[in-house]
Amino acid sequence: MDNLSLENAVLAANASQIAYEDGKTAKPKYIEMGFTTHKFLENDGAQAHMCSNKDFALIACRGTEPKEFNDLLADLNTIPKRHGPGFVHSGFRNEARKLWDNILSFAKRRENMPIIVTGHSLGAAMATYIAQELRWHGIKNVTLYTFGSPRLGSNDFVDAMDVPHWRFVNNNDSVCRVPPTILGFTHHGELQYINHYGNIRKMSPWQRWKDRIRGFWAALKKLQFFDNFYDHGMQHYVKKTENAAKKDK
């Protein structure tokens, strides 16, 4: 699973969207996706869903809920925390650590099958931390799909990561540009940039800048004045990933 699979990306996107729901409402949706087991984790505001079937397992971390005070604190707590060879964002790490013991136990019982780790927004940063921790704890068959992820750690930390990671960014999604690089944070993973037209394209920084201008202008013409927040919505990642998979067939 070290190569990009748009089919797996669609599954991960849908799983990340469902992850915003509680265990009761999410379980039948994960079962409908083909999973035969489901467990909902919640600890002091941090939430994730763990699912599996006979073929593979999935861990989906919930993203930021604006009404959840702990989520806002986690997003704002940018104090660097020494971790491995570098540092990570304290708030994102702390949220992931709340669920870590249960996730590690779940993964160890399924270490011989592929494990997909995924999430959106805060959940994407948590998923990135968790996926690499699983690798460092000997769980090797891990693949990471993230959507609208903020930056998690320093260059030294990111350079030491060895998990296959497909990082989806939707046009003007501003969450993908925080915390700022001036504070020492950087991204991990192979960028899957979704342009203004909804296509996944490899583009230079200059081309992405021009594409974001096109996106802002198109949004202004539709009286959408906050395109950078609009593009962060998980529903847009689901729709555009599904469309990309259809075009790829």
Rounded to whole angstroms, the Cα distance separating 125 from 90 reads 11
In this predicted structure, what is the pLDDT of residue 2? Answer: 46
| Chain center to CA of 109 | 23
Rounded CA separation 9/11 (Å)? 5
Per DSSP, the residues of 156-196 read HHHHH--S-EEEEEETT-GGGG-S-GGGT-B--SEEEEE-T
Q: What does the longest C-alpha to C-alpha distance in the chain come to?
A: 52
Cis ω on the peptide bond leading into residue 179 (within 30° of 0)? yes
Give the predicted TM-score (pTM) of the model: 0.93
Distance CA(124)–CA(231), nearest Å, equals: 15
Q: Which helix (H) or strand (E) holds 80?
A: strand 80-83
- In this predicted structure, what is the pLDDT of residue 216? 78
Q: What pLDDT is stored for residue 71 in this prediction?
A: 47
**Which residues of the chain, if any, have pLDDT below 50?**
1-2, 68-69, 71-73
Q: Hey, what are 118's tokens?
A: 């995924």
CATH C-level class of 6-248: alpha beta
Taking the C-alpha atoms of residue 58 and residue 208, their distance in angstroms, rounded to an integer, is 31
Half-sphere exposure of 179 (CA within 13 A, CB side): 20
